[in-house]
């Protein structure tokens, strides 16, 4: 059992939890993930590590409520326990030797982009972050990004920062002559796909963090497979980071929708369940 | 005088048209009488070819003679000397190519049903014996076992009986390896696996779940910081291999490992499971081994109307 040390709602659909997991905190690196199970009957879900404190022994996760499991997770309080918490899994984001990087985050993906921006900043690299949200109510980690990078805030509707998509901002930066060693982009698949299309035009190396459906996270099941450069790769052990110019995003989008009806159903059921408990 | 019937005693089982709609165990096990009658088919021959066919060299004729005499606990003691998992092995060992494959009775007629007898003895013991095994005296040596599948559990059992301080590290949230994520409930009930693992715990074996060794701790750390003197790696058969044919990443294409893990470990066969699974009307299973059969039978039980096994050999 793994104790929740801290809980904070970052916006109405995104929550931060610090979980007591000293062994994982000792080894975690930006870009890696954990798999958790809320209770003894729960499904296993992968979440990328958003931060960690090796001395205090906690690992931070930030998640968006999308299905029954995240709904249940969101109802736990500080002091409650999560049944299972395993990691750190996957290969850490490759940051060695990078001098100037654009970190692009979209929505809850910013939670994963942040520790990478922080690590790059601490290494002495110049970091430009481009973070995008649908509107101002969904903005998370604004101050955190500001502390470690030159930040550009984008919202789809212009209610905060600049109106437009992250691709608009990134294009402007590149066209204004910024030369990046690498662009690291984390967010919804569709956003990563379009960022990669853009950076390919300009020939800038781009890394994406993939978050497909996963069960064991150790390479055993193959559920998280992707096509990268024409080869089948497992996000859990070969990734989750891949060369964005080689990833078959259309296939990943299709595979990601496999259980959409089930997720919606589970989410609604969980909502009703909690509604009943409140009454 | 041995029972000279050429045929094995049939083991009672669920009716095909009932069992293809549920996940309960297919085979129901021998009664005492059936077991004794079957055991009497053993000729107790001198050169014991069955023992050479057994990977852990259980003294098969001796345990079978105890069954024939109705002394099932004595039979259990004989098996337990060589095997840590009799209730599991009695169900899922490929006896036809091991002990039974060598049985002299198999030359003319069917071999002695050694597997069914092993299963009977283990189940009898589990149902009737309430005494916990005596914890062996510790020899003070610590051993780490990576993976809690059949090899890890067997190794743990053998070492614990010799007095070693054994800790098993399991990557998943539940111990058992392929016995819990791969082999379906209808062939190997999970309660049976749990019982065998509980038996190991009674012997003093510790089980740490959610530990991916190599990620959370290295083998060097196990030895240098945690004081383990030896490490056994039983990490399993590993990654699924895909065939690199067009369409294999389409929605609805599963590796057997993913399909079976969803069904077994994550209990997708239960209506109230939180784990989604595709319940298709028409299913093709590529392959022809045990795993393919497990997948095909699971698909049928999940409600498929047609299940095809596609195999490259005749």
- Reported as a single tens digit per residue, the pLDDT across B116-145 is 999 999 999 999 988 888 888 999 999 999
ipTM of the complex model: 0.89
For chain B, give every domain's residue range: 16-128, 142-233, 256-310
pLDDT at A277: 40
- Taking a C-beta distance cutoff of 8 angstroms, is the pair B231, B266 a contact? no
Q: Is A253 on the interface with B (CB under 8 A)?
A: no
- Comparing alpha-carbon positions, the chain A residue that sits nearest to B215 is A88
Give Cβ neighbours of residue B112 (< 8 Å, ≥ 6 apart).
B8, B38, B39, B41, B42, B50, B64, B100, B103, B105
Q: What is the C-alpha separation between A145 and A148, in angstroms, rounded?
A: 5
Instruction: Using the CB atoms, write b or e for A77-92: b if 16+ within 10 Å.
Output: eeeeebebbbbbbbeb
Q: Is A165 on the interface with B (CB under 8 A)?
A: no
Judge: B258–A223 Cβ closer than 8 Å, yes or no. Answer: yes
- Please state which CATH class domain A2-89 belongs to: mainly beta
Judge: B261–A221 Cβ closer than 8 Å, yes or no. Answer: yes
Q: How far is CA A218 from the centre of its chain?
A: 19
- Taking a C-beta distance cutoff of 8 angstroms, is the pair B103, B112 a contact? yes
Judge: A43–B266 Cβ closer than 8 Å, yes or no. Answer: yes
Minimum distance, in Å, between the CA of residue A85 and any CA atom of chain B: 7
Evaluate whether the domain defined by B142-233 bears CATH number 3.50.50.60.
Answer: yes
Q: What is the C-alpha separation between A159 and B254, in angstroms, rounded?
A: 43
Which helix (H) or strand (E) is B257 found in, with range? helix B256-263
pLDDT at A200: 96
pLDDT 10s digits, B167-220:
999 999 999 999 999 999 999 999 999 999 999 999 999 999 999 999 999 999
B212, B249, B276 member nearest A218 (Cβ): B212
Q: How far is CA A270 from the centre of its chain?
A: 23
Q: Which DSSP string do the residues of A197-238 spell out, in sequence order?
A: HHHHHHT--EEEE-----SSSSSSS-TTEEEETTEEEEHHHH
- Using a CB-CB cut-off of 8 Å, the residues of chain B touching A263 are 276
pLDDT 10s digits, B68-116:
999 999 999 999 999 989 999 999 999 999 999 999 999 999 999 999 9
Give Cβ neighbours of residue A275 (< 8 Å, ≥ 6 apart).
none
- Which residues in chain A come in under a pLDDT of 70? 263-279
Give Cβ neighbours of residue B101 (< 8 Å, ≥ 6 apart).
B53, B95, B111
B172, B242, B257 member nearest A232 (Cβ): B242
pLDDT at B169: 98
Q: How far is CA B275 from the centre of its chain?
A: 24
State which CATH number among 3.40.50.300, 3.40.50.80, 3.40.120.10, 3.50.50.60 fits the domain covering A100-278. Answer: 3.40.50.80
Q: What is the C-alpha separation between B112 and B89, in angstroms, rounded?
A: 16
Q: Is A232 on the interface with B (CB under 8 A)?
A: yes
Is the bond preceding residue A240 a cis peptide, omega within 30 degrees? yes
Q: Which two tokens stand for residue A105?
A: 């985050």
CA distance readout (Å), A240 to A31, A90, A125, A206, B177: 7, 6, 22, 14, 24
- Enter the CATH code of domain B16-128: 1.10.1060.10
For chain A, give every domain's residue range: 2-89, 100-278
- Taking a C-beta distance cutoff of 8 angstroms, is the pair A161, A130 a contact? no
pLDDT at A272: 52
Judge: A215–B262 Cβ closer than 8 Å, yes or no. Answer: yes
- Which chain B residues have any C-beta within 8 angstroms of a chain A C-beta? 171-173, 181, 209-212, 215-217, 236, 238-240, 242, 244, 248-252, 254-255, 257-258, 261-262, 266-267, 272-276, 278
pLDDT at B238: 67
pLDDT at A271: 53
pLDDT at B248: 92
Burial of A49 (0-12, 13-18, 19+ CB in 10 A): buried
CA dihedral B276→B307→A217→B174, nearest 10 degrees, is 80
Burial of B92 (0-12, 13-18, 19+ CB in 10 A): middle
């Amino acid at each position: 059992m793994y104790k929740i040390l801290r809980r904070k709602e970052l916006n109405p659909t995104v929550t931060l939890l610090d979980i007591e997991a000293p062994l994982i905190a000792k080894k975690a690196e930006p870009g890696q993930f954990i798999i958790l199970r809320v209770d003894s009957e729960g499904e296993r879900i992968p979440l990328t590590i958003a931060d960690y404190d090796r001395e205090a022994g906690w690992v931070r996760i930030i998640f968006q409520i999308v299905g029954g499991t995240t709904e249940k997770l969101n109802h736990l309080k500080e002091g409650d326990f999560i049944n299972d918490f395993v990691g750190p899994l996957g290969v850490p984001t490759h940051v060695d030797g990078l001098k100037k990087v654009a970190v692009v985050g979209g929505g809850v993906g910013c939670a994963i982009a942040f520790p990478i921006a922080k690590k790059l900043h601490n290494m002495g690299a110049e970091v430009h972050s481009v973070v995008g949200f649908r509107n101002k109510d969904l903005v998370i980690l604004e101050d955190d990004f500001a502390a470690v990078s030159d930040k550009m805030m984008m919202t789809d509707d212009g209610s905060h920062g600049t109106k437009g998509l992250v691709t608009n901002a990134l294009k402007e930066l590149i066209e204004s002559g910024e030369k990046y060693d690498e662009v690291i982009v984390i967010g919804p698949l569709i956003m990563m796909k379009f960022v990669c299309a853009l950076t390919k035009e300009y020939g800038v190396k781009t890394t994406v963090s993939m978050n497909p459906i996963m069960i064991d996270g150790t390479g055993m099941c193959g559920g998280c497979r992707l096509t990268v450069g024409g080869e089948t790769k497992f996000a859990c052990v070969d990734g989750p980071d891949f060369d964005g110019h080689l990833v078959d995003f259309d296939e990943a989008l299709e595979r990601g929708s496999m259980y959409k009806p089930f997720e919606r159903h589970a989410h609604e059921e969980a909502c009703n369940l909690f509604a009943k408990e409140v009454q | 005088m041995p029972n000279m019937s050429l045929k094995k005693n049939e083991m009672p089982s669920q009716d095909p048209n009932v069992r293809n709609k549920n996940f309960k165990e297919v085979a129901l096990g021998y009664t005492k009488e059936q077991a004794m009658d079957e055991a009497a088919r053993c000729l107790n021959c001198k050169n014991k070819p069955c023992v050479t066919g057994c990977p852990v060299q259980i003294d098969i004729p001796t345990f079978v003679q105890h069954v024939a005499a109705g002394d099932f606990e004595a039979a259990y003691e004989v098996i337990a000397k060589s095997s840590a998992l009799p209730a599991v092995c009695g169900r899922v060992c490929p006896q036809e190519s091991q002990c039974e494959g060598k049985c002299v009775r198999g030359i003319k007629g069917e071999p002695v049903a050694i597997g069914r007898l092993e299963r009977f003895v283990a189940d009898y013991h589990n149902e009737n014996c309430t005494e916990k095994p005596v914890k062996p005296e510790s020899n003070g040596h610590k051993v780490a076992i990576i993976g809690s599948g059949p090899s890890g559990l067997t190794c743990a059992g053998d070492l614990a009986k010799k007095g070693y301080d054994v800790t098993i590290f399991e990557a998943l949230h539940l111990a058992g390896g392929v016995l819990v994520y791969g082999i379906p409930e209808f062939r190997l009930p999970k309660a049976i696996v749990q019982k065998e693992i509980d038996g190991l715990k009674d012997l003093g074996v510790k089980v740490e779940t959610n530990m991916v060794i190599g990620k959370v701790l290295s083998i060097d750390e196990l030895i240098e910081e945690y004081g383990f003197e030896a490490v056994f790696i039983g990490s399993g058969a590993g990654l699924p291999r895909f065939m690199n044919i067009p369409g294999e990443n389409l929605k609805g294409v599963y590796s057997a490992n993913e399909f079976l893990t969803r069904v077994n470990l994550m209990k997708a066969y239960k209506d109230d499971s939180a784990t989604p699974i595709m319940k298709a009307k028409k299913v093709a299973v590529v392959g022809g081994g045990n795993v393919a059969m497990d997948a095909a039978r699971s698909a049928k039980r999940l409600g498929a109307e047609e299940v095809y096994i596609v195999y490259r050999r005749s």
